[in-house]
Amino acid sequence: MQTAVNEVPSPLMPKIASIVGGLWVTFSLTSGNIGRAFEIRTTNNTYGEVFIARPLDRELLDHYTLRIQASDGGVPPRRKEHTLRVNILDVNDNPPIIDSPFGYNVSVSEVSSPAPLFPSSQGEV
């Protein structure tokens, strides 16, 4: 599964049925949900879906490996786990930076070879 930075929250995986043999199934994210970036929502008490809950930033974390658990209400309860890897796609979300708030003044000889006139740093392109 892949998702872009600043993408509108939407389901990340197909719906998972939450009634099995007449028993309700509950869903939980058991690991990998760093910063609570994701949540599981139940639709009409019928399906569980994983949603993006907070803005994602690829510069901080480029992927998440979520562990999802489904558990029924039986005695004893039955459980099933699934791993969902979410790769965060990069988007151009950072403007260029000019280090000097006052601008630059340079003097160049008319016979100079091509060269940078002021220092630059390359961040996100």
115 domain residue, yes or no: no
Place of tokens 């990069």: 90
Range of the domain at 27: 2-89
pLDDT of residue 125: 46
Per-residue pLDDT tens over the stretch 2-53: 555 555 455 555 455 555 566 678 889 999 999 999 999 887 656 788 999 9
Six-digit token string for 44: 């009409």
33 domain residue, yes or no: yes
Virtual CA dihedral for 82, 85, 86, 87, nearest 10 degrees? -170
pLDDT of residue 10: 54
User: Residue 57 is part of a domain; what is its CATH number?
Assistant: 2.60.40.60
The sign one gets for the Cα dihedral 94, 91, 1, 46 is positive
Per-residue pLDDT tens over the stretch 95-107: 887 777 777 777 7
Confidence category of residue 66, pLDDT binned at 50, 70, 90? very high
